[in-house]
Amino acid sequence: MSTENEGNAVPPAPSAPPVPVETPAASAQGASHPGGAPTAPIPAVPGTPGAPQHESAPAGMPAYASNGAGQGADPYGQAPTQGSAPEAGWPPPPPATPSYADGGGSGDGGGWGSSYQQPAPKPRNKRGGLIAAVLVAALVAGGVGGGIGYSLAKNDDSSTDSTTVSAPSSSGEVKRASGTVANVAANALPSTVTIEAQSTNGEGGTGTGFVFDKQGHILTNNHVVADAVDGGKLTATFPSGKKYDAEVVGHAQGYDVAVIKLKNAPSDLKPLVLGDSDKVAVGDSTIAIGAPFGLSNTVTTGIISAKNRPVASSDGSASSKSSYMSALQTDASINPGNSGGPLLDASGAVIGINSAIQSSSSGGLGGSGQSGSIGLGFAIPINQAKHVAQQLIQTGKPVYAKIGASVSLEEGTGGAKITEQGASGASAVESGGPAAKAGLKPGDVITKLDDMVIDSGPTLIGAIWTHKPGDTVKLTYTRDGKTHTVDVTLGSREGDS
């Protein structure tokens, strides 16, 4: 599946045009469609070759995703070329027509197993125009309604037949129980920030992050801060209005995780409590905090809809590398700008980092490629993100687990099939690597990792990356129609290159 970057900051809405009522509609039509923001819709997992981060996802696919050529992927650093063999450097995004956990074929709803097309380049920094128009239309409608309401009230001022009932006044404050959404939000909001990233050429967007420790480290998505990595500008603004310059400490494109640090961080920072994403159950309540379309400090609610969803995401640019995750799926409303924000449980503990959304076939707001929430949001489990963040703080570089074999991204292989050839003619099974030591060969089809069903190459990559180098996993694979099981001790690869 694929995904799309979050939104840009919303420019101030122009003053409402005078009545007549047609004005709002005209204003809305004239507004430019949003684009170029950092959260992402998500692509489906592989199908036919040709599928893969700064272009928006096309209609029908998740936001923060990409398309690109390639049929094979190496879960440790080798990506496929146009053919079945992976290219050196990175597992590519899944080809067009990816399939997901259900292994289904194409569909019309843009859901799991549906096909998608190469996204068209999207203009950046225009999302604000649509939002401004929407806000103006709302304000004009409100103004008209208010005028009518005042007129009716004035005309009826002499009436003695009023049936209005007022609640008794109370001098005490309203108290909300600890388990309410309002209480959780009140506790978590002061520790979330709206991040603005800008590259040296002025491009950028808006995302979200949250306080990771008292030293001033903020946890967010890689694609939120990517524009500011090489000499760009980065700021973080708290709900209180306090704004701080920040710098990137480390970023992991494969995991889509980044850590930034506030300059001159205040001494009273309150890190959010981290939960245990392994213990999350389908149906658990969720609370998402972020800056959808630049509207900072927005709180939405939902539930955990599914676990271990295979998600491959990218911004769509030719030079970007894909991110792979075994995601938490939630129906909490998540939109561009929510990326990097916390997904909380009912107690207020962080269980994930909101990272991607599935776009609707209609293209979301404005009827084009920019997606809006359709109840399919995806978050990086916090157990994985926490480990990656700690690595980045300590060394500045990510470390990825690997099995040392290139796998196909084609659909219909019944699992993750080891390709016949690796990148640039190299062996598909790394000599002396974990897979070779376990006796795996080209043509073997991996169908399970421990108890998790593996239905595709990207699913295997995402599952492997939930582990640490040195972990031992049990792989089930088929060869010549027979099923075999073997223990594999995972190797490691440092950095995104």
Per-residue 3-state assignment (H helix, E strand, C coil) for 372-437? CCCCCEEEEEHHHHHHHHHHHHHHCCCEEEECCECEECCCCCCCEEECCCCHHHCCCECCCCHHHH
- Per DSSP (E only), the strands in 280-349 are 285-290, 298-313, 323-330, 342-344
CA distance 381 to 394: 20
Q: For residue 246, what are the CA distances in angstroms to 6, 94, 228, 385?
A: 19, 34, 10, 20
| Given 320, 339, 355, 408, the catalytic residue | 339
CB 463 within 8 A of CB 455: no
- How many other C-beta atoms are found inside a 10 Å radius of the C-beta of residue 273? 14
CB 410 within 8 A of CB 71: yes
Q: For residue 430, what are the CA distances in angstroms to 132, 173, 446, 467?
A: 54, 66, 16, 19
> Residue 143: helix, strand or coil by DSSP?
helix
| Given 256, 315, 345, 455, the catalytic residue | 256
Look at residues 281, 289, 11 and name the one whose alpha carbon lies nearest to residue 136: 11
CB 7 within 8 A of CB 127: yes
Is 355 tagged catalytic? Answer: no
**Residues in CB range of 240: below 8 A, 6 or more apart:** 190
- How many other C-beta atoms are found inside a 10 Å radius of the C-beta of residue 282? 11
- How many other C-beta atoms are found inside a 10 Å radius of the C-beta of residue 375? 15
**Six-digit token string for 365:** 């707001």
| Given 33, 54, 217, 223, the catalytic residue | 223
Is 256 tagged catalytic? Answer: yes
Q: What does the angle CA 419 – CA 469 – CA 317 come to, to the nearest 5 degrees?
A: 55
Is 339 tagged catalytic? Answer: yes
CA distance 33 to 182: 33
Is residue 152 packed enough to be buried (19+ CB in 10 Å), middle (13-18) or exposed (0-12)? exposed
Look at residues 439, 423, 430, 422 and name the one whose alpha carbon lies nearest to residue 488: 439
Hey, which residues are catalytic here?
223, 256, 339
